[in-house]
Structure 1
Amino acid sequence: MPSSSVTISSKCTILPDRNSPIIKTTLKLSVSDLPMLSCHYIQKGVLLSSPPLPPDSLIPLLKRSLAATLSFFPPLAGRLSTDAAGHVHIVCNDAGVEFVHAKAKHLFVASILAPGADVPSCFKEFFVFDNTLSYAGHHMPLAGVQVTELADGVFIGCTVNHSVTDGTSFWNFFNTFAEVCRGDKKISKSPHFSRDTVFNSPAVLPLPAGGPSATFAGDEPLRERIFHFSRESILKLKLKANRKRVNTEILGKESNDGWRAVNGANGKANGAVNRTDEISSFQSLCGQLWRSVTRARKLDGSKTTTFRMAVNCRHRLEPRLEPLYFGNAIQSIPTVASIGELLSRDLHWGADRLHQNVVAHDAATVRRGVQDWESNPRLFPLGNFDGASITMGSSPRFPMYDNDFGWGRPLAVRSGKANKFDGKISAFPGRDGGGSVDLEVVLAPETMAGLENDVEFMQYVS
């Protein structure tokens, strides 16, 4: 693997290309936004083939496109501000976002996408605002874009304040950026900025002077790999979790159900709540991951393990939130089990517990979660505090590959080093679509080695 050093060619601030329609207004952070003030900015990006434009044409095009996109997303060009009562707001003041042009011409696409290898460290250099907590949005841009030229491709990395967006809002912004760049005259999905929701609250989150600290160390040795699961492998997992006989006839029947498989717990963009007794494909995959990582950790059977996932609440409320509500509309669902029981039972046992928790997370549960936070406002405790936890983020339903900037779909999706710790998993759609999934798995080195030797898990990996 060649050196991963990246050279910065230029930096600038990009302003919206016209005055924002909500200029000088504010959006108050909600009970779903505020806990994220101690989380790093979201860092996600797309690896693209070489564009048909030279750099002296490409970079101005991307700058113009970003300026136009910000006009549809004015909060991202603003800053955070805390009022005298302690409420945190987004001030839509058109202060702009950071844009960086970088080069790593010694890196080739094939070398950084080598299958079966750890994710190379170069991807961590393709993003701005490393190790920046979302509270820093009081004095820093709420978003930034870095465009890195490679030997035979380009990486567009987007970094956005996590107290301002969740995954749904993040990818709507990213998709719109690509849409504008490829020349579409109108955007297809306008964000919805209403704050008249159950998440809007008079509660104040007490914060220390100068802001919060990260809730996890961030300096532990880690390994990171992408595990790919084909549609066929995931359908086999689903059948196993539901204790069905696996044969060609059943697989053929199951293959006609599309990717309704992820209707359950699939990160921050869950589809419709699965109201049946059937464990979904994604819940089945999560159940297998939970078993195999826990086994690889070699912990005492009397200890408890937690599988935590964030779920989209937009469709769970009555009345429903706008699908493109801008901000965080997520809650965390923890599922707890004793290690001994999780490992002594079959896949169905653990996957069904995940499934039951997701099904139970209805409108009443969402409202109880809001009330619970209001009674004790607190930051989100991101991390693996007991050494036995797994945190699932992102979603295979996010439109990550709908980012054609004008010269083709992404070759891959990757993230930076933000919010990564032992047990942090992110779910991406597979590039081949059709229900395939990529899991970005971050583990302690010895646990990753155990997972790679776990036959029960690796038999499903492509």
Structure 2
Amino acid sequence: MATKVLDKITVAASPPASGGVLPLTFFDVPWLFTGPIERVFFYTYPHPVEQFTAHLLPSLVSSLSAALHSFYPLLGCVRPCPDGGGGYEFYSTGGDGGGVELTVAESSDDFEELSGGSPRDVARLYELVPQLPRTEDGSFALASAQVTVFAGQGLAVGVSIHHVACDDSSYMHFVKTWAGQCRVAAGEDAAEVPPPLLDRDVVADPEGLAARTLDEMRQLAAKGPPPPPPPGPPPKLVIASFVLTRDCIDKLKQRVVAKGAASANGGGRVHCSAFTVACAFAWACLARVDGSYTCKKRAHLLFSVECRRRLAPPIPQEYLGNCLRPCFVEVDMGDLLGADGVVTAAAAIGASIKGLDGGVLDGADGWFHKILSLVPEHPMSVGGSPRYGVYDADFGLGRPNKVELVSIDKTPGTVSLAEGRDTQAGIEIGVVLPEAEMAQFSSCFSDGLKQL
């Protein structure tokens, strides 16, 4: 085993937090029985383990403790409501015995390879990601962290936060708060990160969507477990990153606007952003790789749109929790696989986003069933976004060499999006596939860039 655990530390909030109980909103409930958002942040750290333990580790621990003071819900768990009504709630003891488990580890693996973008076994990255502790009473912890040192090479910071606790915006708000506090603990200057907003009353639920969605989830569970996976050993999955430079993104936008405007919204202007064309490009590549796609008449895409600023009244960006709605896109498979597949996909994605102008919560009572109905269709789904600034997480070691959203491997057909590390890098697209299919995806991606 390449990774050896050196210590496990329970980190409490300092000064102690108040703790308490918070309700789940209708944005949180659909994530209740999923899993954590799991990222690994890689940094250059050319020092021995002893120097890490003596100098950097104390700053990492004290800064995590300071960050947890304002993000105290992450100290706790999600548990069944004590009233026996079948609901769930966030519960945190605050400074009274609550804490987040921080694993300290050492790895003998190849840091340069792990922190690169080439295909590598996703299981190797999972050695750098902490597991969330579970209990026998039906509750589960919301957050854990792991710091892994590669002697003389680098450092990996793995953060797991259960999706029911927050979305990617809140996830990165927490990580940047921890990183900023770490720079302060080391005596550096750091821009102050605003505290999170914990008031869940800002998410109105006049239609009782939270309770209704939970009832639907129970009804589904009552029908029995999902079908077992196919017999035989599962395929070896590899993870890799692909980059769309700013120049490539601009060329894709120009193509979409030039060829797609006439077909979007009856000839209206097409919504065309970096996110739109990156999703479209990845979707077109993935459709050519997945053999199950070729026998289907329609192709499906599922992605999330953040609602904080789209709600009326808008919710502050610092709100700690989930505030995402799903968007559904469907196109003809022949069009997606055709020469202008990226244009077709981008126009459809843009139309879906533009349609939110009529009301971001329209159809909310049908979102859960719509997602379930798409599972047999093997849709491509999207995790992360270029707008969350994952490469801004500086623990005093500079910008990360690489950031991986490892948890995309939990749902086949999911790709991750993030801003590029460098100013001209544009957008990074992360993909997890079996080895043979990854080679096909890489070839499709390369060929698509050559045609720009």
TM-score, normalised by the number of residues in structure 2: 0.83
Q: Would you say the 8 A contact 1:36–1:379 is kept in 2?
A: no
CA drift at 1:113: 3.5
The correspondence for 2:26, drawn from 15, 26, 31, is 31
Pair 1:290–1:215, CA change in 2 (3 A): farther
Which one-letter code corresponds to 2:139 in the other structure?
A: H
Distance between the aligned counterparts of 1:137 and 1:408, measured in 2?
Answer: 42
1:386 counterpart residue number: 377
Shift, 1:217, TM fit: 7.0
- Which residue number corresponds to residue 263 of structure 2? none
| Aligned residues of 1:39 and 1:419 also touching (Cα < 8 A) | no
Residue matched to 2:113: 111
Task: Give runs of aligned pairs for residues 298-447 of structure 1, distance below 5 A.
Answer: 298=291, 299-300=293-294, 302-344=296-338, 346=340, 347-362=342-357, 364=359, 366-372=360-366, 381=372, 385-387=376-378, 389-417=379-407, 420-434=410-424, 436-447=426-437
Q: Which residue of 2 aligns with 1:125?
A: 127
Report deviation, 1:243.
2.1
2: CA distance between counterparts of 1:461 and 1:193? 48
- Show the counterpart of 1:146: 146
Residues 92-122 of structure 1 deviation map (CA, whole Å, 9 limit, x = unaligned)? 3121111100000x23432323454336542
Map of 1:89 onto structure 2 = 89
68 and 276 in structure 1: CA distance in 2 versus 1, 3 angstrom threshold: farther
TM-superposed deviation, 1:7? 0.5
Q: CA deviation at 1:409?
A: 1.4
| Structure 1 residues 120 and 417: alpha-carbon distance in aligned structure 2, compared to 1, 3 A threshold | same
3-state SS of the aligned residue for 2:376?
Answer: coil
Distance change in 2, residues 1:40/1:415 (3 Å): same
Q: Does the aligned pair in 2 maintain the 1:80–1:139 contact within 8 Å? A: yes
Aligned equivalent of 1:285: 278
- Compared CA separation, residues 310 and 187, structure 1 to 2 (3 A): same
Structure 1 residues 293 and 186: CA distance shift in structure 2, 3 A: closer
- The answer to whether the Cα contact below 8 Å between 1:316 and 1:363 also exists between their aligned partners in 2 is no
Q: Per the alignment, in what secondary structure is the counterpart of residue 59 of structure 2?
A: helix
Q: Which amino acid aligns with 2:330?
A: V
Identity %: 25
Pick the aligned partner of 1:294 from 287, 298, 308.
Answer: 287
Report the CA distance shift for 1:380/1:351 in structure 2 as closer, same or farther (over 3 A): closer
> CA distance change for structure 1 residues 357 and 185 in 2, over 3 Å: closer, same or farther?
closer
| Mapped contact 2:102–2:144 kept (Cα < 8 A) | yes
Local SS of the residue matching 2:270:
coil
Q: How many residue pairs align between the two structures?
A: 419
Greater per-residue helix proportion: 2
Match of 2:255 among 218, 240, 262: 240
| Counterpart check, 1:10 vs 2:3 | no
Q: Secondary structure at the match of 1:241?
A: helix
**Considering only aligned residues, what root-mean-square deviation do their CA atoms show, in Å?**
3.3
Report the Cα distance in structure 2 between the residues aligned to 1:69 and 1:287, rounded to whole angstroms.
Answer: 37
Partner of 1:44: 39
After TM superposition, the score normalised by the length of structure 1 is: 0.81
Shift of 1:379: 11
Aligned to 2:244: 229
* Unaligned stretches of 5+ residues in structure 1: 245-274
Query: Structure 2: how far apart are the matches of 1:93 and 1:224?
Result: 38
- Aligned residue type for 2:72: P
Counterpart AA for 1:284: V
Q: Which residue of 2 is the match for residue 254 of structure 1?
A: none
- Rounded Cα–Cα distance in structure 2 between residues aligned with 1:367 and 1:383: 20
Give the whole-Å Cα distance in 2 for the aligned partners of 1:73 and 1:36: 19
Local SS of the residue matching 2:57: helix
Query: Could you tell me whether the CA contact under 8 Å between 1:16 and 1:69 is conserved in 2?
Result: yes
Task: Extract unaligned runs of 5+ from structure 2.
Answer: 260-267
Is the contact made by 1:421 and 1:442 (CA closer than 8 Å) also made in structure 2? no
Asked if 2 retains the 8 angstrom alpha-carbon contact of 1:420 and 1:442, the reply is no
2:192 corresponds to which of 187, 190, 207: 187
Give the Cα–Cα distance (whole angstroms) in 2 for the partners of residues 156 and 406 of structure 1.
13
Amino acid at match of 1:370: A
Rate the CA distance shift 1:68–1:137 in 2: closer, same or farther, 3 A. Answer: farther
Do the aligned partners of residues 385 and 107 (structure 1) sit closer, same or farther apart at CA in structure 2, a change above 3 Å counting? Answer: same
Preserved contact between residue 303 and residue 327 of structure 2 (Cα < 8 Å): yes
Deviation at residue 293 of structure 1 after TM alignment: 1.5
Q: Deviations over 1:59-94 (max 9, x none)?
A: 222111111100010100122222223332111312
- The answer on 1:100 being equivalent to 2:103 is yes
